[in-house]
Amino acid sequence: MPSSHQRYADWTPERIKRQAGETGPKTSALIEIILRERTHPEQGFRASIGILRHAKTFGRERLEAACDRALEIGARSYTSVTSILKSNLDRKRPASATDGPTITHTNIRGPGYFH
């Protein structure tokens, strides 16, 4: 096995999931999705390990909040979680949608026009 791969030899999906579970439920859910969406779970090891390593730098609470934010916006990568943490978006709640009622105007054709 190449030396760049040897450090991952003792990592298993179960070990990664267990470590994610120790961080929190949102981190565990994100890691579970990353490992499940790959063709082979091993393809998600580097992203998962990188995300879990952020707990050392940013702390478990911030990592958990960042994973929560990533799940809300549909982000499924190491880069997305890193960006959330570096931009302090984990500390801010996303703005709620401001969609109001539909506009009634004479220039708006409506859904019946195209049928």
For residue 101, what are the CA distances in angstroms to 4, 8, 75, 95, 106?
A: 56, 53, 29, 18, 16
Taking alpha carbons only, the member of 40, 35, 43, 6 closest to residue 18 is: 35
For residue 53, what are the CA distances in angstroms to 21, 43, 45, 78, 96?
A: 14, 17, 12, 10, 31
Q: Give percent of the chain above pLDDT 70.
A: 90
Sign of CA dihedral 81, 36, 74, 77: positive
For the entire predicted model, the pTM comes to 0.74
| Tokens at 46, concatenated | 């580097």
| Tokens at 82, concatenated | 């890193």
- What pLDDT digit, counting tens, does each position of 24-71 carry? 999 999 999 999 998 888 888 889 999 999 999 999 999 999 999 999
pLDDT of residue 95: 67
pLDDT of residue 50: 94
pLDDT of residue 97: 63
Taking alpha carbons only, the member of 23, 21, 16 closest to residue 56 is: 23
